[in-house]
Amino acid sequence: MPRFARHLTEQDGPNNPFPGLQALERRLGHTLPHRIGSNEGLDMPHQALAARFGPALAELARTYGDAEAWQLRSMLSEALDVPMDSLLVDAGADSLMALTLRALCDDGSTVITSAGTYPTWSYFVRGQGCRQVEVDYASDEGYLAPDLQALADAARREKARVLYLANPDNPAGHLHTDADVLALREALPEACTLVLDEAYHDFREDAWQPEANRVWPGVIRLRTFSKAHGLAGLRVGYAIATPDTLAMLMKVRIHYAVSSLALAAAETVLAHPDETRAHVDDVIARRRALSEWLRERGAEVLPSTTNFVSLRLGDAERAAAVHRTLLDEGTLIHRPAHPALGDLLRISALEDSLVPGRLDSLAAALR
């Protein structure tokens, strides 16, 4: 059994006091057209909002979203072949990270993380009062990946409550196979939950195959609409996990964190998968072109299953100098703040990255 925060297992609840009107309608089996009990401002005319964004937005803006995200979960369930009760929608993968920590950890619980991986995770771990143990990446020429053996060893040694793995990883871009992730799960203590951050899942070749979306006991898979679906500003993501695990998360979830607009937008893009898939194909083509361009100039480019390309300069000071020069030119690329990965630079696979001249300062540093 995975372990959860003590105060959640030692009592019944907390129970969400406002499951929402849509949940009530589903329970009653009929609609409630006269919603005069939830103080929403339903008669706000919204002329300015409608003039700027159209009447559909003004309509959505007046009401609380469906706290259970029923429609979106049912569409996801069909698209991914995952049972609806194994899906939880929240305000992006970041929000899901904070939620998993809140549900899983007590003050001082130990969390295992790769040193230099997606830093928001560590930010939340520290904010939650957890004890973080970092494990170095496995590294070789042209290879940088979370070290699954070392992560499992650390989890066992430190009696960890949670292990975080970004797969595909940010900033390495590396994708571990599902077989390797399941072997990692096998090697973990039963009480330790694997939080598997799959923000870049949609860039996997098999992303839409049922096998790539399984519910794995002891694992909370985090997904997002921010990357392949282009909805970062609206904040929507989802978790795949066993129903009993999600029930624990639901105890402490901010129930209206996902807005009515965000839900409607996610439903709309999900109803048009061809547009998302075409976008993913374009991103992959640009990623290959960018990797090729960098390799031709002598860069150590890391293989990537994401929407970005990372390269290592082998020298943190040189990487910092390139980063600074590009910033002065008005170009923002990413250099991790973590000292373990200070020689790495990360570039998004956008059309703008391929514009001739855009990365010339980087190319000059590679010579």
Ligand X SMILES: Cc1ncc(COP(=O)(O)O)c(C=O)c1O
User: Are 213 and 238 within 8 A, CB to CB?
Assistant: no
Give the relative orientation of helices 260-270 and 273-296 as an angle to the nearest 10 degrees.
80
**92 part of the interface to ligand X, by CB under 6 A:** yes
Which residues, listed in sequence order, are joined to residue 217 by a DSSP beta bridge? none
Please choose, from the candidates 154, 133, 214, 203, the residue with its C-alpha nearest in 3D space to the C-alpha of residue 181: 214
CB atoms < 10 A from the CB of 85, how many? 14
Nearest distance, CB of residue 347 and ligand X, angstroms: 14
Interface pick for ligand X out of 237, 240, 263, 311 (rule CB under 6 A): 237
How many chain residues interact with ligand X (CB under 6 A)?
12
What residues numbered 108-147 form the site for ligand X, per CB under 6 A?
118
Nearest distance, CB of residue 224 and ligand X, angstroms: 3
Nearest distance, CB of residue 118 and ligand X, angstroms: 4
Nearest distance, CB of residue 61 and ligand X, angstroms: 21
What residue type is assigned to position 350 of the chain? L
Tokens read off for 249: 């998360």
Cα–Cα distance measured from residue 144 to residue 151, given in angstroms and rounded to the nearest whole number? 14
What residues numbered 181-220 form the site for ligand X, per CB under 6 A?
197, 199
Q: Which residue lies nearer to ligand X by CB, 258 or 365?
A: 258
Q: Which residue lies nearer to ligand X by CB, 22 or 276?
A: 276
**166 part of the interface to ligand X, by CB under 6 A:** yes
**173 part of the interface to ligand X, by CB under 6 A:** no
Interface pick for ligand X out of 226, 242, 245, 353 (rule CB under 6 A): 226
Interface pick for ligand X out of 86, 100, 170, 193 (rule CB under 6 A): 170
Residue for token pair 């807005």: 259
Q: Which residue lies nearer to ligand X by CB, 8 or 263?
A: 263
**238 part of the interface to ligand X, by CB under 6 A:** no
Please choose, from the candidates 141, 188, 144, the residue with its C-alpha nearest in 3D space to the C-alpha of residue 164: 188
Burial label for 195, CB within 10 Å (0-12, 13-18, 19+), is buried
- Stretch touching ligand X by CB under 6 A, among 179-187, 224-232, 240-248, 331-339: 224-232
Close Cβ partners of 65 (under 8 Å, ≥ 6 residues apart): 20, 256, 258, 259, 260, 261, 262, 263
Interface pick for ligand X out of 42, 56, 232, 364 (rule CB under 6 A): 232
User: Under the rule (CB under 6 A), what is the footprint of ligand X?
Assistant: 92-94, 118, 166, 170, 197, 199, 224, 226, 232, 237
